[in-house]
Chains A and B, each alone.
Chain A
Amino acid sequence: MADEREVAERPASRRIIAPGYTFGTVTDQIATVVLTRRTPVFWYISFGVGFALLLVFLWSVAVLLAKGVGIWGIRTPVMWGFAITNFVWWIGIGHAGTLISAILLLLNQRWRNSINRFAEAMTLFAVACAGMFPLLHLGRPWLFYWLFPYPNTMAVQPNFRSPLVWDVFAVSTYATVSLLFWFVGLMPDLATLRDRTQNRFARAAYGILAMGWRGSARHWSVYETATLLLAGLATPLVLSVHTVVSFDFTIAIVPGWHSTFFPPYFVAGAIYSGFAMVLALAIPLRSVYGLEGLITARHLDNSAKIMLATGLIVAYAYMLETFTAWYSGDVYEQSALWNRMTGPYAVCYGALIFCNILAPQALWFKRIRSSPALLFVSSIVVLVGMWLERYVIIVSSLAQDFMPSSWSIFQATRWDWGTYLGTIGLFLFLFFVFIRLLPMISIFEVRTLLPQAKVEEEAQG
């Protein structure tokens, strides 16, 4: 009974679920969002914006396929430009979802239960957006299967010494494991929706996806094992995927890329931007759908603290970058960094320092962490900052490397912006379809957070 008293005495802001919920009301509130015929105007607006941008994406890709990658601003020596910037940015955003679903599960952080579902969905859609860029950047995307080692008639295989090939495996593994994890976690909730819906077609659709889930003890036991195994598989991916992405840069000898601290720096940056995206999605959703009782002030506070912590790691990496350049005594490294700070991309560099380091220091203050509106603003600032970071790393290093005679400034074209904003559209489109068709919060996992669940557990134990 000690636990119950503890729950009762906990101050309101520390709760991970508001008082007064029962098993029934949790299910009702989350399932109604999907099963109702009434959709809030917010949904129509967000979906509409997403769909409009998705059309921009389709148009940009159609032009790209017709005319080739030359419609982008990529010119020698900056051949990576927006495409790889966006790839790294999107992949990074996905990392928060995996961290929440896998690492926090293994660390027994129960507050994750109410944000893991939509965070995992965010991961999947972010990976889908990320995957677009290397494929479109291939120039001939229809030959994408050449990336895989399959028995082809050319008798050639991908070069396994190239980190770009490791990327293919890292990202495709990540996408597969994330999808499986998400789907397995959805099954009990799909069964709930199947049992609750009045619509015949919806019942059949949810029924097929629920794969015959009846909630028997055996089902739950198998489910628990599967979840733990998948969490175990996904955990190293949180660290490995962005490490491999950072290898794309570090393995090259380009000044400003060739550094050993890139892997941890990239992973921290990934989680940083990922939690920014989680907050940017959670804050509007909870207020529109009245989910403040499930996604509580404590969730926002915790996410903001993770952002602050990873943001400080990123700040440390910036300092180290400068220190290494000075300490190495390597003139190329030094001039690359000097160019980055004071050269043609100085504005971007200054903006990223402001967005990633200076502005997020506000998160030290509890007053700011407990204001959803300010948190929303700071998460958008961080998202912009992390995009600028990748842009500056990629573009400034390539634009001014060893040979001054080939230096050239990158100019983004409207098609660059079209594909970038287009994937934001794809992301919003997929995300709001998800919000409408699937429970955005895990019903059964939130139910385990209720004090009732705890008492029950102990009584049985």
Chain B
Amino acid sequence: MSQIFHRSTNTFARITIYGAVFILAFLTWTFAELDRSAYATRATQAREQPVPFSHAHHVGGIGIDCRYCHTTVERSSFANIPPTKTCMNCHSQIWNTSPTLEPVRASFRTGQSLEWTRVNDLPDFVYFNHSIHVDKGIGCESCHGRVDRMPLTWQEHSLEMNWCLDCHRHPEKHLRPREFITTMGYLPAGDQEEIGLRLVKEYKIQDVRVLTSCSTCHR
């Protein structure tokens, strides 16, 4: 009886059978990496805005405190986007003829809000509250990165659940005294571990079992 397949198919069969393991492993690895990549999470990608607002200039250059604009961050779950009036506190006096800032003045004249592009957006199934984090000693920088070095704002971290849990499982590694909440480039005065553990007690931070309970964030 004649051969159905050419001799070379033996090699092909062997390669596909043994190769299947590697191909599957490679595919798994690729998906895992893609899932974590900036392509999927949009971390570190600066977003276009209606007005090219620079945190680097306002925070890094001039030294305005975060809370001058984001006034509700200590009281509310949401750190507000300031109204146009806040911009106009200064820009009615300086750069008041700049063509770049025309949308801001237009917004002020008409009362129509500027429509900023949201940068840090958690999924809707996550309950997140800014005020509790600020109150318990998590600096703005811890999540938002060095905003004072962002010409256009980007999302610093992946915002994936493992990133949240890094801190919820070991809060002491990230705590700072409340007076340094808005400080950019904060360096602990001493051993972070020691300060962190002291602050955990002082700020009455909940047990890790509470911090990592499902319903703490998924309500």
The reply to whether the CB of B158 lies closer than 8 angstroms to some CB of chain A is yes
List of B residues within 8 angstroms of A215 by Cβ: none
B4 nearest in chain A by CB position:
A207
B13 touches A153 (CB 8 A): no
Q: Mark A103-130, 1 if CB is under 8 A from B, else 0.
A: 0000000000000000000000000000
Name the distance in Å between A308's Cβ and chain B's nearest Cβ.
44
B35 touches A153 (CB 8 A): yes
Q: Is the interface of B mostly helix, strand, loop or mixed?
A: helix
A194 to B3, alpha carbons, bound, how many Å?
11
List of B residues within 8 angstroms of A204 by Cβ: 4-5
The reply to whether the CB of A154 lies closer than 8 angstroms to some CB of chain B is yes
The reply to whether the CB of A212 lies closer than 8 angstroms to some CB of chain B is yes
Whether A153 contacts B158 in the complex (CB less than 8 A), given A211-B13, A212-B10, comes out as yes
B214 nearest in chain A by CB position:
A156
A212 to B160, alpha carbons, bound, how many Å?
49
A155 touches B4 (CB 8 A): no
B5 nearest in chain A by CB position:
A207
B5 touches A153 (CB 8 A): no
A204 to B6, alpha carbons, bound, how many Å?
12
List of A residues within 8 angstroms of B35 by Cβ: 153
B162 touches A195 (CB 8 A): no
B36 touches A153 (CB 8 A): yes
Name the distance in Å between B199's Cβ and chain A's nearest Cβ.
23
B168 nearest in chain A by CB position:
A155
A154 touches B160 (CB 8 A): yes
Name the distance in Å between A250's Cβ and chain B's nearest Cβ.
26
Size class of the contact patch on chain A: 10 to 19
Name the distance in Å between B167's Cβ and chain A's nearest Cβ.
11
B164 nearest in chain A by CB position:
A155
A155 to B158, alpha carbons, bound, how many Å?
13
List of B residues within 8 angstroms of A15 by Cβ: none
Whether A195 contacts B1 in the complex (CB less than 8 A), given A151-B32, A211-B13, comes out as yes
Whether A153 contacts B4 in the complex (CB less than 8 A), given A211-B13, A212-B10, A212-B13, comes out as no
The reply to whether the CB of A75 lies closer than 8 angstroms to some CB of chain B is no
Name the distance in Å between A154's Cβ and chain B's nearest Cβ.
4
B165 nearest in chain A by CB position:
A155
List of B residues within 8 angstroms of A150 by Cβ: 28, 32
User: Looking at the complex, which one of B4, B36, B160, B165 makes contact with A203 (CB distance below 8 Å)?
Assistant: B4
| Contacts A/B (CB < 8 Å), 6 sampled | A153-B35, A153-B161, A155-B162, A156-B161, A203-B4, A207-B5
Given A203-B4, A211-B13, list of 10 further CB < 8 A pairs? A150-B32, A152-B162, A153-B158, A153-B160, A153-B161, A154-B165, A155-B161, A155-B162, A155-B166, A212-B13
The 8 closest A-B pairs by CB, nearest first: A155-B162, A154-B161, A153-B160, A207-B4, A155-B165, A153-B162, A153-B35, A203-B4
Binding site for A on B (CB under 8 A): 1, 4-5, 10, 13, 28, 32, 35-36, 158, 160-162, 165-166
